Structure 1
Amino acid sequence: MTRERAFTGFLSVLTIISTLAAAGCQTADTRTEASQPAQGPAAPQQQKPAAVLDLPAGPPSPAPQTTPAASDDQVSLASNAEKTAGAPTPPPAKDAKGKTAAADKPKIEIKSPYTEANPTLLGLTLKTDAGEITSRFGKPKDQFVMEDDADPITVYDYTDFLVGFNSQNQLHFVDVRSGEINPGLNGLKLGDPVSSVYEALGKPDSNTSYVLTYKATGAILKLDVDPKSQKVNSIKLFAE
């Protein structure tokens, strides 16, 4: 009886020890789980992109070509090329009478302007030799003779003006025909108003509705006036 109680007591002790041991393991496991940091939801794994097949998509498009900007030198060369490429040369300009204009006009240089003591027109002095006139202005555009019983006058036509020579080949008159040349009358030109005549030459010796006349040493200066417009339409210098 005593042995049975002792054995029963031994079993009870074993049972208590086993229970305590199991409880200790659970507590350790709990502490271990508590000591581990809490982990959040697993991050989604990145999917690798699907492989792209490099299939040919037809012939490659040609790269756009950029035209280089033309430099100033190229422009100049192009211009010169156009000029020398056989372009026709325009004919010289002509006046209303079909005569060649400015390019062939004689050059007028006024070295001796008009004065009463030294009357000149276009810088020309009366009784000058014909050879001196042609050496200065070249050959005339036209030439003709004004018949006169006393002394025929040979006329040289230079388009903008006429010069006449007597039988001794001396300058007998000068006739200005264009407002584009300087006659050497203190700035007065063909086509100017009558008021400009007075400013340039002073009061005339003779004044009519059509003609203003100035007497000078061995010569007469005559200016014809348009009575309607009151402008000078002719300027002549005659040997007296």
Structure 2
Amino acid sequence: MQDQSRTGLSRRGLILAAGAGVLAAPAAFAAQPGKAKPAAGHAAPALTPEAAMARLMAGNARYVAARATHPNGDAARRRLVAAGQHPFAVVLACADSRVAPELIFDQGLGDLFVVRVAGNVVDDAVLASIEYAVIHLGANLVMALGHERCGAVKATADALDGHPSPDDADTKIGALAALIAPAVRAVPAGVVDKVDAAVSLNAAHAAAEIFAGSKPLRGRVLAGSLKIVAARYDLDDGRVSPAKGREIA
């Protein structure tokens, strides 16, 4: 994660500078036309951030309705993207085996640049991967995607409540929990389902971290060619919706 000494500004200051702050919804951030380097191969799709979001959500609607078309998965597409990739969106998703972005958004080879890690958290390696996809491959939408009943979020909540799993001793799982903990702590007192609320806040937190931690991405957001949004996936019905939650500073 990026601390104040590395960014030069507090995260809240950066969020306020964006105008409306971190909104856990499809209209989360405005964006800019940054100059991404085109890769070799097929021409990059001329999609605005709004069109990219619409394409993702249309694919999810097909998936939910059991009408997925499974596009761009044949041999011709494989040969085309072998020469270069131009994904239209980046999805930061949990590594959970039930949350496969290409499936839940009904996309194919070369459509999405997917970064997956338990708890959909942001560290330097994750942020660098997202920066690469935007700056060098031309993606103009970044989605931080949490999901219902996230095991990483639940494990963090349990640990903070004083009930860590003994199986996690001598593992690196605590490193994930440290990145998820701010979202769990931000859940208002009295919320009945603390884990479910933390899932949305954790996705919003990840979106804020991407914005605050990367000067090049922040510039594109403020100028208008990139959107960074937070969303959540429902394991039961397959639907992706805005991650509802307040700003996390």
Q: TM-score per shorter chain, which class?
A: under 0.3
Which structure has the highest strand share of the two?
1
Tell me which protein shows more helix as a share of its residues.
2
Select the structure of larger CA radius of gyration.
1
Q: Which has the higher contact order (CA 8 A, sep 6+)?
A: 2
